[in-house]
Amino acid sequence: MEKNIVLIKGDGIGPEIVDEALKVLDKVCEKYGHTFRYTRILMGGESIDEYGVPLTDEALDTAKAADAVLLGSVGGPKWDDLPGHLRPEKGLLAIRKGLGLFANVRPAYLYPELKAACPLRDEIIGDGFDMVVMRELTGGLYFGARETVEQDGQMVAKDTLTYSEEEIRRIAVKGFDIARKRRNKVISVDKANVLDSSRLWRKVVHEVAASYPDVECVDMLVDNCAMQLVKDPKQFDVILTENMFGDILSDEASMVTGSIGMLSSASLNETKFGLYEPSHGSAPDIAGMDLANPIATILSAAMMLRYSFDLDQEADAIENAVKQVLADGYRTGDIMSDGCKQVGCKEMGDLIAERV
Ligand code: NAD
Ligand code: IPM
Ligand code: MN
The model's pLDDT over 199-229, given as tens digits with 9 standing for 90+, comes to 999 999 999 999 999 999 999 999 999 999 9
Instruction: Give the tens place of pLDDT for each residue, 101-130.
Output: 999 999 999 999 999 999 999 999 999 999
**CB-ligand 2 contact for 89 (6 Å cutoff):** yes
pLDDT of residue 100: 98
What residues have CB less than 8 Å from 127, skipping those under 6 apart? Answer: 112
Instruction: Give the tens place of pLDDT for each residue, 23-41.
Output: 999 999 999 999 999 999 9
pLDDT > 70 fraction of the chain, expressed in percent and rounded: 100
pLDDT of residue 213: 98
Which residue among 74, 92, 245, 249 is best mutated to probe the pocket of ligand 2, counting the most ligand atoms within 8 A of its Cβ?
92
Q: Which of 14, 11, 17 is nearest to 78 (CA)?
A: 11
Instruction: Give the tens place of pLDDT for each residue, 265-279.
Output: 999 999 999 999 999
Q: Which of 166, 163, 172, 266 is nearest to 219 (CA)?
A: 172
**CATH H superfamily, domain 119-256:** Isopropylmalate Dehydrogenase (3.40.718.10)
158 is known as an active-site residue: no
pLDDT of residue 278: 98
Active site residue: 67, 190, 237, 247, which one?
A: 247
pTM above threshold 0.95? yes
Work out the average pLDDT over 292-304.
Answer: 98
- Distance in Å, CA 247 to ligand 2 centroid: 6
Q: Please name every residue paired with 188 in a beta bridge, in sequence order, or none if there are none.
A: 219, 240
How many CB atoms are closer than 10 A to CB 323?
Answer: 15
19 is known as an active-site residue: no
Identify the nearest ligand to the CA of 137 by its number: 2
Quickly list DSSP for 126-166: TT--EEEEEEE-SSGGGTS-EEEEEETTEEEEEE-----HH
* CATH of region 1-107+262-356: 3.40.718.10
Question: Is 287 known as a binding-site position?
Answer: yes
Q: Crossing angle of helices 312-327/295-307, nearest 10°? A: 160
Determine the distance from the C-alpha atom of residue 266 to the mean position of all C-alpha atoms in its chain, rounded to a whole number: 6
Ligand 1 atom nearest to 294, measured from its CA: 18
Work out the average pLDDT over 230-241.
Answer: 97
130 is known as an active-site residue: no
d(CA 251, CA 256): 9
Question: Is 79 known as a binding-site position?
Answer: yes
Instruction: Give the tens place of pLDDT for each residue, 78-101.
Output: 999 999 999 999 999 999 999 999
Q: Which of 205, 295, 216 is nearest to 259 (CA)?
A: 295
Work out the average pLDDT over 10-15.
Answer: 98
Q: Do domains 1-107+262-356 and 119-256 have the same CATH topology?
A: yes
- Distance in Å, CA 84 to ligand 2 centroid: 14
Question: Is 106 known as a binding-site position?
Answer: yes
d(CA 195, CA 277): 30
Instruction: Give the tens place of pLDDT for each residue, 154-197.
Output: 999 999 999 999 999 999 999 999 999 999 999 999 999 999 99
Cβ-contact 248, 270 below 8 angstroms? no
pLDDT of residue 129: 94
End-to-end CA distance of the chain: 18
d(CA 308, CA 335): 29
Determine the distance from the C-alpha atom of residue 18 to the mean position of all C-alpha atoms in its chain, rounded to a whole number: 14
d(CA 90, CA 82): 11
Identify the nearest ligand to the CA of 73 by its number: 1
pLDDT of residue 219: 98
Ligand 2 atom nearest to 247, measured from its CA: 10
Question: Is 96 known as a binding-site position?
Answer: yes
Which residue among 280, 290, 336 is best mutated to probe the pocket of ligand 1, counting the most ligand atoms within 8 A of its Cβ?
280
Count helices and strands in the chain by DSSP H and E runs: 12, 14
- Per-residue pLDDT band at 21 (split at 50, 70, 90): very high
Go through 239-255 and write b for each residue having 16 or more CB atoms within 10 A of its CB, e for each that does not.
bbbbbbbbbebbbbbbb
Residue 129 burial by CB count (10 A; 0-12/13-18/19+): exposed, middle or buried?
A: buried
Instruction: Give the tens place of pLDDT for each residue, 38-78.
Output: 999 999 999 999 999 999 999 999 999 999 999 999 999 99
Domain ranges of the chain: 1-107+262-356, 119-256
What residues have CB less than 8 Å from 273, skipping those under 6 apart? Answer: 66, 67, 68, 99, 308
pLDDT of residue 178: 98
Strands (DSSP E) contained in 167-297 are: 185-190, 216-221, 238-241, 266-268, 274-276
What residues have CB less than 8 Å from 298, skipping those under 6 apart? Answer: 20, 21, 24, 318, 322, 349, 352
- Distance in Å, CA 131 to ligand 2 centroid: 19
pLDDT of residue 324: 98
